Amino acid sequence: MSVQYRAVSWNRQKRIYDSIMACCIAGYLLIFTASGSAANPDATLETLLIRGLGSGAFLMLHIVLSIGPLCRLQPSLLPLLYNRRHLGVATFLMGLAHGSFAIFQFHALGNINPLFSVLTSNTRYDSLANFPFQQLGLAALIILFVMAATSHDFWLKNLSAPVWKGLHMFVYAAYGLLIAHVTLGALQSESSPALASLPGIGMATVIGLHLAAARREHLIDSKRSKPPMTDLSRLAALTRFPKNVQR
């Protein structure tokens, strides 16, 4: 049987969720570029946008990855889970805008294809200080694209839930690549210890939340599974009558 494609069915909650998300993104970019140019008046708007879009996308990915365990730890946060896929697609679009600006700024003015230039201009894989970190960002962006492209219910039904879930587990590979992209790239020249520690704090938060949620589920599962009945307890259960039953 074939699965029919139906465009996103918007409702009031989805509109509110997306409006809040759009306002937060616009507010973040505004604050980032304004404070960035105040701190460093020589920085161009392109540079500020590359950094604002990249750090914004990275922050959003942390939120996407934290929502699942947070909802398992605190069910009252479940409304955040609703529409998480829109947040994931927005994360990809922010990453795409960041990557496109970065490729334009650093690779578009030569005489070779800019994408080819990203892949070939630096091949120093043996150097930590000069590692081609942009290629790691590109690999992560490709994974985020595949997930954004298959995030619609149509693909969930068409691919089947286990395959779709397995595919979307690659978000952790994208996250690992981005941790490396930031650590081997922007962090190499970061002089502020507070800013340099942010990716580490983000990673510790994501891992900590996943471990806490897994521990909670393990406790719930072990409470649910009853101990096997011994012969004596089975006999006691058989001879025990409910109070309202007349013997």
Q: By CB under 6 A, is residue 213 in contact with ligand HEM?
A: no
**For ligand HEM, which is the closer residue by CB, 50 or 63?**
50
State the nearest-atom distance from the C-beta of 112 to ligand HEM, in Å. Answer: 15
Q: What is the b/e burial string over 133-166, where b = at least 16 CB atoms within 10 angstroms of the residue's CB?
A: bbbbbbbbbebbeebbebbbeebbeeeeeeebee
How many chain residues interact with ligand HEM (CB under 6 A)? 26
**For ligand HEM, which is the closer residue by CB, 71 or 136?**
136
Site string (132-171) toward ligand HEM, x via CB under 6 A: --x--xx-xx--x---------------------------
Instruction: Choose which of 118, 171, 184, 206 interacts with ligand HEM (CB under 6 A).
Output: 118
Q: Which two tokens stand for residue 210?
A: 């996943």
- How far, in Å, CA of 137 to CA of 180, rounded? 9
- How far, in Å, CA of 87 to CA of 72, rounded? 18
Of 150, 155, 164, 176, nearest to 61 by C-alpha is 176
| Segment contacting ligand HEM by CB under 6 A, of 99-107, 151-159, 160-168, 205-213 | 99-107
**CA angle at residue 102 from 99 to 103, to 5 degrees?**
85
Question: Which 42-71 positions form the footprint of ligand HEM (CB under 6 A)?
Answer: 47, 50-51, 54-55, 57-58, 61
